[in-house]
Amino acid sequence: MATQASGSLDFETLRRAIEDRDADTLIGFYAEDAEVRTVNKNDTPSSPRVLRGKEEISEYLRDVYDRGMTHRVEGIAITEGGRFFYVTDEDEGVHLRLTRLLAD
C-alpha cells in the first residue's frame, strides 16, 4: 500500500497502480477524510458525484478497477492549480479520455 511523506506523491507508483488495476495501492493514496468528485454525463459539473471518506472512495475504486477495463496513464502535468494526469480507459473497444486532478 502506498504511503507518502506530506507534500510528496510517487507518480510512478500511482501510474503502475492505475495501469495494473491495483485498487488496494490506489486506496492507500487517500486520507481517511478525503473527498473525491466525479463529473461525467450523469454527474454534471453543477452536480458532481461526491465521495466522502476513505471507505466510500474505496468502494468506488474497487468497483472501477475490478472491471475488465484497460487503463493507461498518458501524461502528468504539475501546475499551480494542482497535479493533473491524463488517462485513457478502454472498455470493450470504447476509448474514454479522462483528466484527473489531484489537489493537496
The yes-or-no verdict on residue 6 having pLDDT over 60 is: no
pLDDT at 39: 83
Residue type, 30: Y
Q: Do residues 37 and 50 make contact, with C-beta atoms less than 8 angstroms apart?
A: yes
How do the domains of the chain map onto residue ranges? 11-102
How far apart, in whole angstroms, are the C-alpha atoms of residue 77 and residue 64? 23
> Which of these CATH numbers, 3.10.450.50, 3.40.50.300, 3.50.40.10, 3.30.1490.20, describes 11-102?
3.10.450.50
CA dist 73 and 78 (Å) reads 15
Of 31, 103, 98, 38, residue with least CA distance to 69:
98
**Nearest residue to 69 via CA among 51, 49, 42, 87:** 87
pTM: 0.73
